[in-house]
Structure 1
Amino acid sequence: MTTRQTLFGVSLDALTMDGTVERCLAAVRAGERLEIGVVNAAKLVNMRRDTALAHAVSGCDLVLADGQAVVWASRLLRRPLPERVAGIDLFMRLLGEAEAAGHSVYLLGAKQDVLEQMLRRIAVRFPGLRVAGSRNGYFDDSEQPAIADAIAASGADMLFLGMTSPKKEIFTAGYGERSKVALVHGVGGSFDILAGVTRRAPERWQRLGLEWLYRALQEPRRLGKRYLTTNVSFALMTGRELLRRTPAPSISTASRGES
């Protein structure tokens, strides 16, 4: 069991990256199913508006802080999380561990050409990795049962979902068990980054909590307004929570002029 901290009504696991990797590997070795959910500022805002997304994330076995702003908020609200566990970094760590241990993976998501480019790059970076199967992320809801069955038939140990929210969370909640993999991890836009379609923010930007801005600068029309809106909402959420947790100052008899 790990320590959990509750932020904005959501329980998050207070794990480091190393601790998370060990939990994942232990689940795979034991053949126990472990579903991972990650949250950043935008997702926490959207979870308040989207009950299906909130239910899917809360139902995960591990819920991790993928955004630096979430870590900062946890410390400000005295519910500290040890560090950011970025989904793409966890993804890369697990691919390396899977290669070393002989575990197999299934990769679901992105456009077909992006998926194929990512697979080529992964083959170079992790030449010993066993890829049990892959499929692009463009499918109707009616196809989800057949996709889950194909994943189960592949015998994969780990499933990585390169899809946007809430699609990846809803697939995990509805079909993670049916897919019969030990580990399910939604990695969002990581497939695009590994394929070279989009660039990840430099480490300095990441440390400053500005990875969202770097992404918005790459796609200002699609992401600019969205990030601005959710970041303002998250700041307001944090401020309200801080005021709610801060006790009102007591008034002493001396300050009232009483003896």
Structure 2
Amino acid sequence: MRYGAATRLVSLKSLNRMNNRRFDFLGVKISVINPEIAAQKIKEYPFTGPAYICFPDASVVKEAYTDPLLKQILNTAYLTMPDGKPSQIVARLKGHKTVSTVSGFHLCHALLQTDLTHYFYGGNDATIDSMKKKLQQQFPQAKILGYKAPPFVSAAEIANSELVKADIENIRALQPNLVWIGISSPKQDYLMHHFHRQLPQSLMLGVGGVFLYFADETLRSPEWVKKMGLRWAYRLLKEPKRLWPKYYATIKFLLQNRSFFLKLLFRKKQPALS
């Protein structure tokens, strides 16, 4: 093994040890983290080996509950962010009082104001055009190396898509520090799983609908709604036909696993770190 490769492996192992503090949310190991620590960890990342970051909300936890591959993808990410109030509630019930929801939008907003370089891969052509204009206005000093709307492929087709492979090769040539993936979840998690090794000098972040929020901030819920944990309700009011089946299934899943929450609520012992 070459010295450089050995160094990369050592550094990645060290990072994994640093970031192994996690708590269990129905089989998904969520990082013990908050927005400030998340931003700092990403700023300090050495970019000497491939890695990715996931943002699973409760609906993705539901999917992972019966999907071993998705669960593995989430549990082996460099960081698995608590995205949404249910994750934060579980963390607090387990005794992790400093954990709070990490918003992909706010994290991206903060990191665009650093010297890190960025590439945005997601959305559609209209979203990308609008987002590009907004980011150029809001962050004129940001080091953005490119934007691209990916082809529409199913989760099962991602790994073998020649179009996606070509896009990843183009991103690899640019060597951005951060590659923001803005497609539906868990599809974006499969994409990062299959392709992060082709980007050895980049950190991939699956941030879902964040591209839409940058393109049109009126789609975002007000901060008071987010703080109350009612972002899902706000989005449901905006898009009831599209989101109701997803939210209904997620609420049903959480209710079916209410014993998990009740045990945490009435537990007496302090949590053991995973």
Q: 2:259 aligns with which of 221, 225, 240?
A: 240
C-alpha distance in structure 2 between counterparts of 1:121 and 1:13, whole Å: 31
Q: 1:76 aligns with which of 71, 78, 93?
A: 93
Contact kept in structure 1, 2:27 and 2:71, CA below 8 Å = no
What residue in structure 1 maps to residue 43 of structure 2? 25
What residue in structure 2 maps to residue 175 of structure 1? 195
Could you give the per-residue CA deviations for residues 26-49 of structure 1, whole angstroms, max 9, x where no partner exists?
A: 114x53444111122111111113
Contact kept in structure 2, 1:38 and 1:63, CA below 8 Å = yes
TM-score, structure 1 normalization: 0.85
Deviates more, 1:186-195 or 1:51-60: 51-60
- Change in 2 beyond 3 A, CA 1:208/1:236: farther
TM-score, structure 2 normalization: 0.81
Contact kept in structure 2, 1:45 and 1:230, CA below 8 Å = yes
**Gaps spanning 5+ residues in structure 2: where?**
1-17, 268-274
C-alpha distance in structure 1 between counterparts of 2:177 and 2:139, whole Å: 16
**Gaps spanning 5+ residues in structure 1: where?**
248-259
C-alpha distance in structure 2 between counterparts of 1:168 and 1:181, whole Å: 19
| Aligned-residue offset at 1:243 | 4.7
C-alpha distance in structure 2 between counterparts of 1:127 and 1:35, whole Å: 26
What residue in structure 2 maps to residue 256 of structure 1? none
Instruction: Map residues 1-259 of structure 1 onto 2, 5 A cutoff.
Output: 1-2=18-19, 3-28=21-46, 31-78=48-95, 82-97=99-114, 101=115, 103-140=116-153, 141=158, 142=161, 143-196=163-216, 199-237=219-257, 239-243=258-262
Aligned length: 242
Contact kept in structure 2, 1:7 and 1:79, CA below 8 Å = no
- Change in 2 beyond 3 A, CA 1:52/1:197: farther
Max Rg structure: 1
Contact kept in structure 2, 1:27 and 1:33, CA below 8 Å = no
| Aligned-residue offset at 1:153 | 0.7
Secondary structure at 2:219's aligned position in 1? coil
| Aligned-residue offset at 1:198 | 5.8
| Aligned-residue offset at 1:207 | 1.0
| Aligned-residue offset at 1:204 | 1.1
Amino acid at match of 2:31: D
Q: Aligned-residue CA RMSD in angstroms?
A: 2.1
C-alpha distance in structure 1 between counterparts of 2:129 and 2:228, whole Å: 33
- Change in 2 beyond 3 A, CA 1:242/1:129: closer
C-alpha distance in structure 2 between counterparts of 1:35 and 1:87, whole Å: 13
C-alpha distance in structure 2 between counterparts of 1:79 and 1:11, whole Å: 13
Secondary structure at 2:55's aligned position in 1? strand
Percent identity over the alignment is: 24
C-alpha distance in structure 2 between counterparts of 1:111 and 1:198, whole Å: 18
Amino acid at match of 2:33: L
What residue in structure 2 maps to residue 257 of structure 1? none
Could you give the per-residue CA deviations for residues 77-122 of structure 1, whole angstroms, max 9, x where no partner exists?
A: 445562111122112111222xxx2x22111000111111101100
Contact kept in structure 2, 1:37 and 1:57, CA below 8 Å = yes
C-alpha distance in structure 1 between counterparts of 2:117 and 2:247, whole Å: 35
C-alpha distance in structure 1 between counterparts of 2:218 and 2:242, whole Å: 14
